[in-house]
Structure 1
């Protein structure tokens, strides 16, 4: 057996982050820059925006064994909540080739009833991949768990490890809610943006924050400043679930969000994606709440259709508004702005045969379905070798 050697984790290995900070022990990838992190408005977003959705290490190696040391933090409802191992994954040419488990040691104690945000420190962990049987050097991507904040501490292998090459695939930046963050997926490569990116061959930066796709200005500015060949935004369900806006505020907020992105990306294709099917708030207003009569989590609407008549938002209303806003902006000259109806990714007929397990979030089957459909409807057109050059999608 060849002994393992330590290799430096280089900044150039880290993909899917907008900023990387150096600690006394290692590197931390971030999906918001420091100035934006200082503007985060609540403790829940502090954790969810720090999680590693879509973040991975791009490496080149002929190793048979790879070990990654981490200090990981996961949200918990108490200081002693037990965790199952988090899933770390290796992919090659868009296909999973190995996975390894490592349990997050640190807890971020939070419930909506008691939102303390207390950090309870815990031990480091090691994800070990073995039996890779490469024999020759190849490019791999090592995906971090989408629900963990991860500090990268050390990398060992039985063959040299260097930063993977950066190919000419388009850079796709996506922003969305917990659905795009990946909650209820069984692993990071099962979250729909990663499914789509791997299928189509795009470089993904996933700026999706569970519970916090709220048209926040600091998120728009982050997207504005992030290099991209394609941008997509999928916003709506969090606004309804939190009853955060009325129609009067929503309309200019959407325009302002898009205007800010356009400041940094005047010619980049932008796809506005409306929400997928969610029966409780299709025609009724939010907020969404947990059904007190069910023994398991089950989402219902607290608002009504009458509330929508008074200016509150439903999913049908949001879809109509997005379609109208995109049509108006295209008529005003933004021909690289595009609307995608979220029901084409997951609609009522899909819900009849593939229901959402909590009446709100997609399970692993629907996460994969959405990713495959988004790749077919948007990404494949953009990334196909015979397609127009990056930036030409209209």
Structure 2
């Protein structure tokens, strides 16, 4: 076995590769952006490598990857399953692995206190591969911080040219992959596979509320297609009012257009979320569910305050549609999609949101199919030229 240096040319879906004491930590935000916030939630989801994968070509029959995951244990909530590593050979899912040990952060949801226990690196062994040249992709767990310690193979590797078109997608936890069961099962990853595009997933759980550093990151990142799924985290956090939301959207789009003036840009509003359709945030824990060992959320805002500018998903959808229609008069490559096209009332009746916020794994596939049908159709905003 020979050691293969873990370099950025073998890594897709990350914008920075930090050298750590144990190995390399992929980040989905660049270092300059990480310096512009002090937020444990954004820190956490930045290092949860949704859409991040090692990609190389090799004739190796055995591959070993040493990783150091960081797991999160929420007191009072159901235990989280170990993150899954998806191994694709020539585009087909062939193996799924887990790293059961690693660092553990214990979080008390009621007090907000944390405790950290250091763990050991794990070796993932992929064997019995065909002894012919092939493209191997190792997708890292979408919801588990993962340090890459070492990569070994029994045959040389070489980097692979990316797919012809790069799709940069920004969104919240649903885009990040909440309740998907494995990394290639998130709806953005499913879309990328079906549409044959190179994915950069900038979906950040609980952390998408028009922060300027996201817009500048997208502005400065090569992209052939851009989509923004906006709304739910702004309501979750109760961070904006209508008076500030509208200029915030304009400013976000202005910044992206500074770097991508003509790139197809699709704005997607939130999928149906009954607790926040007409009730503003903030979102709180459902304490009755927690007492029963279940994780669920509730809307804690007052609907009577909507008239004074508090935001609900219904208000945000209407304003996003209006802003896009206004801007599209001079920006023909700007488009809008109502998120309820991806998951609406009929879907909620058949497959309710598991915790009143996030869809189940099967719904990720439904959302992906519908997004591809709309965006990549011959007359869709992402149609091939």
Note if 1:85 corresponds to 2:86.
Answer: no
Q: Find the aligned partners of 1:116 and 1:357 in 2 and give their Cα distance.
A: 26
CA contact (8 A) 1:184 1:361 kept: yes
Is structure 2 residue 226 aligned with structure 1 residue 231? yes
Matching residue of 1:183? 178
Distance 1:44 1:117, change over 3 A: farther
Of 63, 66, 78, 1:66 maps to: 63
Compute the displacement of 1:155 (Å). 1.3
Q: Work out whether residues 374 and 380 of structure 2, in 8 Å CA contact, stay in contact via their aligned partners in 1.
A: no
Indicate which of 198, 201, 204 corresponds to 1:206: 201
Q: CA deviation at 1:152?
A: 1.4
Q: 2:147 aligns with which of 130, 151, 174?
A: 151
Q: Contact between 2:179 and 2:359, CA under 8 Å: does it hold in 1?
A: yes
Q: Which residue of 2 aligns with 1:373?
A: 370
Tell me what 1:75 maps to.
72
**CA shift at 1:316, angstroms?**
1.0
1:65 CA displacement:
2.2
Q: Using the alignment, how far apart are the partners of 1:388 and 1:83 within structure 2?
A: 40
Deviations 1:183-228, CA, capped at 9 Å, x for gaps: 1110111111111111111100011111001100111111111110
Q: Secondary structure of the residue that 2:184 maps to in structure 1?
A: helix
Correspondence list, 1:340-359, <5 A? 340-359=337-356
Q: CA deviation at 1:280?
A: 0.7
- Please give the alpha-carbon distance, in whole angstroms, between the structure 1 residues aligned to 2:285 and 2:81: 25
Give the distance between the partners of 2:143 and 2:174, measured in 1 at CA: 12
Alpha-carbon deviations, 1:206-253, whole Å to 9, x = none?
111110011001111111111100111112111111111111111111
Name the Cα RMSD after superposition. 2.3
Contact 1:62 1:137 in 2 (8 A): yes
**Alignment map for 1:1-394 (pairs within 5 Å):** 4-77=1-74, 84-116=81-113, 119-132=116-129, 134-168=130-164, 170-294=165-289, 295=292, 296-331=294-329, 333-379=330-376, 381=378, 387-389=383-385
SS of the residue aligned with 1:373? helix
1:123-172 CA-to-partner distances (Å, cap 9, x unmatched) read 1112222233x23111121100011222211112233222223342x100
Distance 1:200 1:283 in 2: 35
Cα distance change on mapping 1:230 and 1:325 into 2, 3 Å: same
Q: Secondary structure at the match of 1:100?
A: strand
Secondary structure of the residue aligned to 1:140 is: strand
Task: Tell me if the contact between 1:173 and 1:205 (Cα under 8 Å) persists in the aligned partners.
Answer: yes
* 1:99 Cα offset (Å): 1.4
Q: How many pairs are equivalent?
A: 380
CA distance in 2, matches of 1:160, 1:42: 41
Q: Which moved more, 1:25-34 or 1:343-352?
A: 25-34
Question: For residues 13 and 379 of structure 1, do their structure 2 counterparts lie closer, same or farther at Cα, with a shift above 3 Å needed?
Answer: farther
Inter-partner Cα distance in structure 1 for 2:118 and 2:351: 39
Question: TM-score, normalising length from structure 2?
Answer: 0.92
Off by >6 Å, runs of 4+ in structure 1: 382-385
Query: How far apart, in 1, do the equivalents of 2:314 and 2:277 lie?
Result: 6
Unaligned stretches of 5+ residues in structure 2: none
Unpaired stretches in structure 1, ≥5 consecutive residues: 390-394
2: distance between equivalents of 1:83 and 1:330?
Answer: 43
Tell me if structure 2 keeps the 8 A contact 1:47–1:75: no
- In 2, Cα distance between the equivalents of 1:388 and 1:218? 29
Encode CA deviations 1:310-348: one digit per residue, 9 max, x unaligned.
2111111111010000000112x1111110110110001
Name the stretch that deviates more: 188-197 or 374-383.
374-383
Q: 1:83 to 1:361 in 2, by over 3 A?
A: closer
8 Å Cα contact 2:195/2:372 also seen in 1:
yes
Q: Is the 8 A contact 1:101 1:128 kept in 2?
A: no
